[in-house]
Structure 1
């Protein structure tokens, strides 16, 4: 059993004009995997404060953070890495346009995709339940059980 601490992250489910915002999950084109914007939480700030900061860093967008809608967790058995992510429904405040020159200070996110529900099936997206949760006709909170990390 690993003694590493579980990492906590917050992620934004942003649907604007029937399109879901996705960002690359790995830096430098290492993978085609897309995910919701967000990231690890910092001590001393709430989940919603952390999420608004992460979205702004990764996209330049200002969001209003709403209710939680999904809890997801994944791990890498070889390294012992384990992350629990709490997804919140968010709405864009102001323009939804992400400038092509926008740069993530951590240099991880360099791709932004606004995908319609019908387009999402052709994309490599994690967690598996994200698209269903984002476009659910009746919003509710979901749980996506532990899965292995993927590239």
Structure 2
């Protein structure tokens, strides 16, 4: 779709005690697809502010945002929707416990879990490179345009 501006989002690669935090952002069990916490960028606020806000809204956790580690693009060829996600390595500030009763303001996130590298093999997630990036010690990666899946 010509003329459509890509949506910009930020996501947290948050590894604590060798486990990556994943969320499911499909209300009412519409999908089992997991992803890193985060969301759309609000104009006029920094990427770091946006990411800190989004992670808190989705999980109740406070984080320190560090360096970018992945840029991922995905799109829907049938609608022209295009999103660019910038992933940042993050650390938990304070407790890494997530209250099981926590609900995000939009009631979209239905599952939050800490997953080991081995457990990632049993989880359906996007983007495809997330596990490799999360459990690497450094570097920045780029995932070119992936087709949206649910």
Please list, as runs of the form range in 1=range in 2, the aligned pairs for 1:71-110 lying within 5 A after superposition: 71-110=71-110
CA distance in structure 2 between the partners assigned to 1:61 and 1:29 by the alignment: 23
CA distance in structure 1 between the partners assigned to 2:49 and 2:146 by the alignment: 27
Unaligned runs of 5+ in 2: none
Aligned to 1:68: 68
Q: CA deviation at 1:79?
A: 1.5
CA distance in structure 1 between the partners assigned to 2:26 and 2:139 by the alignment: 29
Unaligned runs of 5+ in 1: none
Aligned to 2:21: 21
* TM-score computed with the length of structure 1 as normaliser: 0.97
CA distance in structure 2 between the partners assigned to 1:57 and 1:13 by the alignment: 16
CA distance in structure 2 between the partners assigned to 1:50 and 1:27 by the alignment: 22
Task: Say yes or no: does 1:115 pair with 2:115.
Answer: yes
Q: CA deviation at 1:26?
A: 1.8
Q: CA deviation at 1:22?
A: 0.1
Task: Say yes or no: does 1:150 pair with 2:149.
Answer: yes
Contact kept in structure 1, 2:11 and 2:88, CA below 8 Å? yes
Aligned to 2:134: 134
Runs of 4+ in 1 over 4 A off after TM superposition: none
Q: CA deviation at 1:2?
A: 2.8
Q: CA deviation at 1:24?
A: 0.3
Aligned-pair RMSD on alpha carbons?
A: 0.8
